[in-house]
Amino acid sequence: MIRRHALAFRTTLMLADGGLAIGLAFLLSVVRFGQGDVLPSLRSALPDARAVIVVFAGAWVSVLWMHGLYRSRARWTFRSEAGDIIRATLTFAIATLAFLYVFKLPDVSRLLLIYLFPSMAAMALVTRIGLRLALAKLRGSGRNTRFMLVVGANGQAQKFADLVESHHELGIKVVGHLMGTSTDNGVVLSRTLLGSVDDLVTILHSEVIDEVAICLPLSVQEVIDEVALLCEEEGKIVRIPVAVLERTLSSGRIEEIDGLPILSLITGPDRVVGLAAKRVLDIVGSAFLLVVLSPLFALLALLVRLDSPGNAFFRQARVGLHGRSFQVLKLRTMCAEAEGQLDELRGFNVIKGQAFKMERDPRVTRVGRFLRSTSLDELPQLWNVLRGQMSLVGPRPPLPCEVAEYDVWHRRRLSMKPGMTGLWQIAGRREPEFDSWVEKDLEYIDRWSFWLDLKIIARTVPAMLAGSGR
């Protein structure tokens, strides 16, 4: 299974199954023996009842795993899932009772276990139904969805697109196909034909594309090479559903969907546990700081309003992960009509490349200069982080007009969520070359680890206190 997409689904199920097993054991024990004394039979029979409960839950998860209840199912049905859970429960019940008999633990309540086993089975089924319904609702609302472009308009491409979308837990939507060879002409597709492989760059730049699947015959190996190289340069994940490739694409890794081998070329961070920890840090950190800093937000907003007419907060369109557009939230540092004056000031740009920066910008207010020098104007972006549009650490969030002028290699910086801070902030924000900014972002992407994020956050605070902002 494609690891990046399936691991979160499996991990959620495993944690839910284990946690519910522990919760049910304690709850039924309280119901059976009373509120005052939890698990008296286990306590008298075993030295550490709580540890046994944890092992009990781990064993339950292991039995569910052995019965295939964490594998991806393209054609999920209530009947098949319920049947597997019943078989797993019977296996687990027999193993548990055998363990109690072998180790002579007669004090453990058999009546409690009679209540517990069916309850665990029922909760396992309810959890799976609930999780699938929740995922379906998220996908239906367009959230937590990744978008795939399929290069190829042949039968293999059609089957692969159907296969990917049939696994709803992957959260992948195929946006359409590109015709790769002349032999693609006679195929009737159920999805939109967006053009030919010659239109690849245009599609990548005009649509939100997270992954590109190359479904072309090996006879056009040069086309496969060109498409793969271009997509890697832009930071897209490349999937090639073939068993063996006769070329140097061995830098990727082989994964599978329903037994179909897929070569995955991933140029950005792919440590699933680390990325999950990064998101947890974003949620916890942004929520905590939004609460703690709320008095400061109120004070700064008041100062902005007293200094110049207009709203205290400023929204601006920015480009996020793989081209997703979002509205960044900042404290206003310029006069209200600043956007309309930009064209008149472009000749004073001190940045060489696809960005704008001006020394002593006349549009910046008095309070705005202070906010910019301390980066306090960017604190409201914590709301963007909490919503998942940004991260605490990541590449600088660009403007749409900047992205429109990017070279191909610049676009790889869009393969990771933009951040409130990053290497560009602590090491290169006064650099006059835009290419140097991008190099810092790509260095961060290539070196990324959870610990690197923590180091950057630790170095950002002194930079803010020193007033080294733009």
CA distances (Å), 421 to each of 51, 457, 462, in order? Answer: 42, 7, 12
Question: In the chain, what are the helix, strand and coil shares in percent, each to the nearest 5?
Answer: 60, 15, 30
- Rounded CA-CA distance 364/373 in Å is 12
Element (DSSP H or E) covering residue 423: helix 423-427
Which pLDDT score is estimated for 177? 92
297 and 438 share a domain?
A: yes
Which pLDDT score is estimated for 44? 52
- Rounded CA-CA distance 151/200 in Å is 9
Residue where a domain terminates, one of 245, 265, 285: 265
- Is residue 370 assigned to a domain? yes
- Is residue 126 assigned to a domain? yes
Cα four-point dihedral sign 280, 282, 285, 288: negative
247 and 319 share a domain?
A: no
Residue where a domain terminates, one of 217, 238, 265: 265
216 and 286 share a domain?
A: no
- Rounded CA-CA distance 358/343 in Å is 12
Count of residues in the chain: 470
- Is residue 166 assigned to a domain? yes
- Is residue 29 assigned to a domain? yes
- Rounded CA-CA distance 173/133 in Å is 17
- Is residue 470 assigned to a domain? no
Q: How many CA atoms lie within 13 A of 9 on its CB side?
A: 26
Quick one: which of 210, 254, 214 has its CA closest to 234? Answer: 210
Give 68-127 pLDDT, tens digit per residue.
Answer: 787 655 456 677 788 888 988 898 888 887 777 776 666 666 677 788 888 888 988 888
CATH of residue 182's domain is 3.40.50
Q: Which residues of the chain have pLDDT under 70?
A: 1-8, 32-52, 71-77, 103-110, 135-136, 138-144, 169, 182-188, 242-254, 256-259, 267-272, 336-362, 427-432, 465-470
- Residue 117's SS3 state is helix
- Is residue 163 assigned to a domain? yes
248 and 387 share a domain?
A: no
249 and 325 share a domain?
A: no
133 and 152 share a domain?
A: no
373 and 417 share a domain?
A: yes
Which pLDDT score is estimated for 250? 44
Task: Provide the greatest CA pair distance for the chain.
Answer: 87
200 and 281 share a domain?
A: no
Q: Are 223 and 181 in contact (CB under 8 A)?
A: yes
Find the domain containing 93 and state its range: 3-140
Give 399-457 pLDDT, tens digit per residue.
Answer: 888 888 888 888 888 888 999 988 877 765 566 677 788 888 888 888 888 888 888 98
294 and 365 share a domain?
A: yes
- Is residue 207 assigned to a domain? yes
- Which residue matches tokens 């963007």? 384
Which pLDDT score is estimated for 64? 87
- Is residue 371 assigned to a domain? yes
- Rounded CA-CA distance 236/242 in Å is 19
Cα four-point dihedral sign 139, 143, 146, 151: positive
293 and 407 share a domain?
A: yes
249 and 319 share a domain?
A: no
Which tokens go with 188? 């009737």
Q: Give the count of domains, the chain.
A: 3
Q: If you write DSSP's letter for every residue of 339-357 in order, what string do you get?
A: GGGHHHHGGG---BSS---
The DSSP code for 212 is: E
Residue where a domain terminates, one of 123, 140, 157: 140
258 and 321 share a domain?
A: no
